[in-house]
Amino acid sequence: MLDIILLNLPILLCVLIGMALLIVEMFLPGFGVPGISGIALLFVGVFMTWMNAGPLAALGLFVMIVALTAIALTLVLRSTSRGALSTSSLVLREQSNPSYATNSDLNVLVGKTGSTLTPLRPAGMADIEGVRINVVSEGDFIPKGKGVSIDRIEGSRVIVKSV
């Protein structure tokens, strides 16, 4: 038994390493080096089986490799849709509570007051009723901590004046 394993050890290593590289390529698609190397090792394993044991054994090994690859691909696809990969940070999801405000949201702040968080030269940050907003002064320098009120909104620009 040990003799058979030692005689077929190169074939066994080629097939195992080839399958492992194919599975790595399934989880980390990209350049293709693991996938191409895995396929090459699998073909070397089938060819060595053909040379050592004949065409019927090589055909059996080929069918087994195709079946194992199909099973591995099924498991990888299931994992990406339902398993640990579906909740990973690699998959972008839509946020239900965005941390930004659109222009239509800012229209309700016209006339509200707050204070500057940074000096306005003329652009900077202001805290208007607990909301951090990028604002622009009407051209004047306004120091940090000074009271401002929202004068108007022009497109995406929030224009403030000193209070």
- pLDDT one-digit tens code per residue, 84-122: 655 555 555 555 554 455 555 667 888 899 999 999 998
Over pLDDT 90: what percentage of the chain? 46
What DSSP string runs through 61-129? HHHHHHHHHHHHHHHHHHHHHHSGGGGSTTS----SS-SS--HHHHGGGTT-EEEESS-BSSEEEEEET
Residue that is written with structure tokens 């003329």 in the block: 122
Is residue 46, in this structure, part of any structural domain at all?
yes
* 143-158 pLDDT tens trace: 999 999 999 888 888 8
**How many of the other CB atoms lie within 10 Å of CB of 136?**
16
Is residue 95, in this structure, part of any structural domain at all?
no
Residues 6 and 79 in one domain: yes
Q: Determine if the peptide bond prior to 122 is cis (ω within 30°).
A: yes
Residues 116 and 62 in one domain: no
Identify the domain containing residue 113 by its residue range: 106-162
The two tokens of residue 42 are: 């699998």
Residues 8 and 68 in one domain: yes
At 13 the pLDDT is 94
Q: Number of structural domains, the chain? A: 2
At 26 the pLDDT is 83
| Nearest CA among 148, 159, 67 for reference residue 106 | 159
- Residue 113 sits in a domain of what CATH number? 2.40.50.140
Residues 79 and 6 in one domain: yes
